[in-house]
Every structure is written in structure tokens, then in C-alpha cells.
Structure 1
């Protein structure tokens, strides 16, 4: 896939005026003034409001809010993000949570407004190197995990069973290499949780749309999937999206031949490949295409790491 035709990371954003009136009123009460301007931010996979607001007195904040429609699972995800964001220590390179609450089935988070932008697409090598350095620094700072977070198997134990599920599903249209090695892939995948276990706090969902560049700083946003894992997990999980968004291929950026990493790459690849074959969830029109594109890159990486003919 060329750097110009990768699918965007976008959901169906809810504009500020369509957020539940009681939620808008509660945000304005917290900020102390009416909202005079609300600018929707398009990036990210969520059918929710993601709005930079400015009050009549000039106070700024970034507001995320989601209700049970059109995708009730988003409420659970935002509830998890609220719990994690409230617990993150100050040294984590993430925007500071100002307040959060649940009201009439909606979950709302109000963050400090960070002046920044996502990395340029296609990836520029200088920005990629800056992000990878920041991820390494973040991993070191978050080892051991500074907050109580679930282990990675608890968070991804269900999703990371793609190859094993495909053993019992229609395999039409799959890459011939997959068909030749599906049993071996399922066995390799089965060891991913043991391979990925660790005591680092990881973001676990790193992509360009979850990264902000602000001056000399790199911020990591959207932490609902944070968990304890091996310190290299965030870098490994980021690389398929880097490759599909015009950056270097994963094997050029991660050369450690550790078999534990190969098991995790197998699980990631199986997840992307199988998920991309499922019906699209409500409110997330580009998700399956995005997963499919990551799966293409991850599969090439997996072929190289296994060395299977």
C-alpha cells in the first residue's frame, strides 16, 4: 500500500451541539463559563465527541464524551480510559485529566488542551525517530508500572486468538502462505501472552492518531487499553501502522530476533487479519480497512520473522 492511499483513522464524530444537553451543561459548570467555540477533532476510532472548546472567558479544554448510541461498547472503553487517565502520574507524557464523570448513560472526560498536531502522513523519518525515542523513554519511566493496571492477557486474551479462530472458520481469500501454515500459526500465537508478560505500563494502542507533537514534547493520548506488559510491546504494536502509513517496514525498525517478539507479532497479525474480515462495527466506517492494511504489513513481518517457506 502506498503512503498516499492508506485508510484514515476516523470514526463518526459527534459534534458538540449533539452531545447530551446535561453533559454540555456539566462541562460548562466545571469550566465556570459557557462554551463559545467548539471544534471537532477528526482523528481516532470512536463514534463520540472529541472537541477542543473555548469558553467566553478564553479558558480552553479538550472534551471527549460518548453515549450508548451508535456503539454501546464505546461507553465501556471510555469508562476504562477515565479510570486510567485519573490514575496516571504526572511524569507520563499524556495530557492532564481535569475532570471526568458519568451522566445519563454518557461518559465524559475533560483534559487540558494541548497545542499540538499528529505526525505528518506519510511518516517523516525525523518525526518517526523522535516518536520512537519518546516511546523508549516512556517505557523506561513506566517500569515498573506506577499504577494498578491489568495484565496484558486480561485485556487482549480474547482478541489475540485470530489464527486459532480461523481454524474453524471460512478461510476463503486468505493468503496462500497463511493457508499452508495456519496450524503452525495457531500454535505460535498460543504462546503470545506468556511472551508479552511483564511489569511495564504500556499504552497498548499506539498509532499516529494517538500521538501529538507539541514543540519539543511528544504526548501520547487515549489510554483505555493501558496494561502491564513487556517493555517492548508498545514499539512492536506501533510498527505495522507505521509501515502502512508510509514509514519504514517493521523489520527495518526492530531487528531483535527474540522468539517472544515473534509470538507477539503472530498474535497481532492474526488479530488484524481476522478482524478485517468481520462486519464493520457501528460508527467506525474505516476500522476494518485500517486493520486490513496493518495486517498486510504485519503479515510480511511475520513471514520474515518465522522464516517459513
Structure 2
């Protein structure tokens, strides 16, 4: 389902007043590229600081991700922006975050951002999984993986699972990650595995992508059969998401995941 983007002033006045009760009056509202799964994604410049505001209608099928992000926020301060407020008003669910300075991570081969992203993934792995009702990795992958392989994905690690470079903001102090709506409990190597697909989509060979993943300690001890199973499940998942007429953005992920699956299958044969 595509989401029609709106401007901040398109929100009902009651919603804007509730937001500004938490931020103070704003001086500028600037649309941002982040938050592609939201009806609203803007930076509000206010006298007391700048805030990133994202919103969905309360009847949207993805609105549960807003609640999940609010639940997760208290636990991810070391790797993510702080949640300033959540506003549910007049048919809208709004999250107000600290705005991060920096740029979206560049995953291309040779990018100076890559070491910082590897370090970020390692730091995410050090965050203790909170006792909240997160979905489990094996549940999320069961529709695309052979039942005999699901045990490879189980674990108690706290996972982000959406390593889209648009979710990773890099500055001179390092990297932080936004958009925790798909936070998951599972095997500790899975975030590095999700990153591999995005690296291939950015121009890496599967071998190069795995070398970057290997900078994350959890990947170094991942079972080879588990990685094979994840690569296969991911290729199936992206093919299903793309359907018969995938857009260009999705096609990149379909091709990247298929290339990784082929690489892993050749490795098995040899």
C-alpha cells in the first residue's frame, strides 16, 4: 500500500497544537526523505531545538509500527535518537523525535561510512533485548523459509532488521539508526545478514558484502547453514514483495537477494 505524503500544515489543527504543546511553536517545517512508510515526515525547527516528526492515520494498517517504536525508544538511546513525545489525536498517531544531524549512510563500495555502520550494528547487538512483546525472527521468516531451518533464526538478541541506508544517519560522531518499527527478537547475527542484502543492492559483490558483515562479531560465529537459509528466505521474500511488476526500488532488493542466494548456493556446491 502506497502512502500519500502530506505537509505538516495538512495535519488537523488539533494535532498540530498537541505536537506544539511538546515542542513549542515552530519556525519552519521541512519535509525530509526519511520515513517513506509514513504519511508525514518533517523536521520542525523550534526555538528549543529541531525535531523529527513522523505520523500515520490511526486506521492505517502500519500504525502498529508507531506503537512499537514508542515501546522500544526507552531501550535504544545508545544507538538511536531520543523519543520526545507521542501524540495520538484527531485520528492521527504522531511520534516526535530528536532530530539527528548528518547524512544518510552511503553503502557503496569504498564509502567511508561503511566502518561506522559495521560498528553501529555491533553496538545494536550489545543492547539488551527488552521484555516487551516483540515478534520473533523465526515467526517473521516462517512464510519464506523451510520449516527445518527456522531454528537457525531463534535467539534472544535485540534486532533492528531494517538496515536500509536511509535509516542510518552518519556524522562525525559515528552512526545512529532510526525507524524501529520492525524491532525483533532473534539470532544475534541477523542484523549483519540483513545488511548484506543492502550492501549488494548498493553495488557490492556478495563476497565483498559478507566481508563487511564479518566485521560484526556475531556474524563471525553464525552457522553457515543458517546464513544459507536466511539468504534463501530473503530471496523468496523480496520476490513475493515485488510481485509481477516491482518498482525500481524493490527490483534492486530482488536482484540483490537473488545474487546472494546464488552465491551461497555455489559456496555449498564447492
Relative to the length of structure 1, the TM-score reads: 0.75
**147 and 96 in structure 1: CA distance in 2 versus 1, 3 angstrom threshold:** farther
The structure showing larger relative contact order (alpha-carbon pairs under 8 Å, at least 6 residues apart) is 1
Corresponding residue to 2:134 among 142, 150, 154: 150
1:209-232 Cα deviation digits (max 9, x unpaired)? 100002222111000111111111
| Residues in 2 aligned to 1:23 and 1:250: alpha-carbon distance in whole angstroms | 46
Alignment partner of 1:103 is 2:89: yes
Q: Is the 8 A contact 1:192 1:267 kept in 2?
A: no
- Residue in 1 that maps onto 2:143: 161
Question: C-alpha distance in 1, partners of 2:139/2:31?
Answer: 29
Q: Is 1:64 matched up with 2:50?
A: no
Change (3 A) 1:90 1:119: closer
Distance 2:149 2:133 in 1: 19
Residue 123 of structure 1: CA displacement? 5.2
Tell me which of 179, 199, 210 is aligned to 1:254: 210
Helix, strand or coil at the partner of 1:95:
coil
TM-score by length of 2: 0.85
**C-alpha displacement of 1:58:** 4.7
| Counterparts of 1:123 and 1:11, CA distance in 2 | 32
Kindly report the root-mean-square deviation, in angstroms, between the aligned alpha carbons of the 2 structures.
2.5
Secondary structure of the residue aligned to 1:64 is strand
- Cα deviations by residue, 1:259-297 (Å, 9 ceiling, x for unpaired): 0111111111100011101678xxxxxxx4323211211
Alignment deviations for residues 211-254 of structure 1 (CA, whole Å, 9 cap, x no partner): 000222211100011111111101111221221123x2233232
Structure number with higher strand proportion: 2
Deviation at 1:82, TM superposition (A): 2.1
Cα gap change, 1:154 to 1:122, in 2 (>3 Å): closer
**Within-5 A mapping of 1:16-31:** 16-31=8-23
Distance 2:162 2:265 in 1: 24
Cα distance between partner residues in 1 of 2:58 and 2:85 = 20
Where does 1:230-309 land on structure 2 (aligned, <5 Å)? Answer: 230-246=187-203, 248-254=204-210, 258-277=224-243, 288-307=247-266
Report the alpha carbon displacement of residue 129 of structure 1 after superposing the two structures with TM.
2.2
* Conserved 8 A contact 1:41-1:52: yes
Cα distance in 1 for residues equivalent to 2:21 and 2:227: 48
1:11/1:306 Cα in 2 relative to 1: closer, same or farther (>3 Å)? same
Partner of residue 80, structure 1? 68
Distance between the aligned counterparts of 2:244 and 2:26, measured in 1? 40
Residue 46 of structure 1 is matched in structure 2 by 37
* Structure 2 CA distance for partners of 1:238 and 1:191, relative to 1, 3 Å: farther
Partner Cα distance (2:200, 2:138) in 1: 28
Encode CA deviations 1:75-134: one digit per residue, 9 max, x unaligned: 22222222222x32433x100011113222211111112111102364543211221122
Following superposition, the deviation at residue 150 of structure 1 comes to 2.0
Distance 1:137 1:59, change over 3 A: closer
After superposition, what is the alpha-carbon deviation per residue over 1:161-205, rounded to whole angstroms, capped at 9, x for unaligned? 24xxxxxxxxxxxxxxxxxxxxxxxxx633443211111100011
Q: How many residues align?
A: 257
Deviation at 1:63, TM superposition (A): 1.0
Preserved contact between residue 99 and residue 109 of structure 1 (Cα < 8 Å): yes
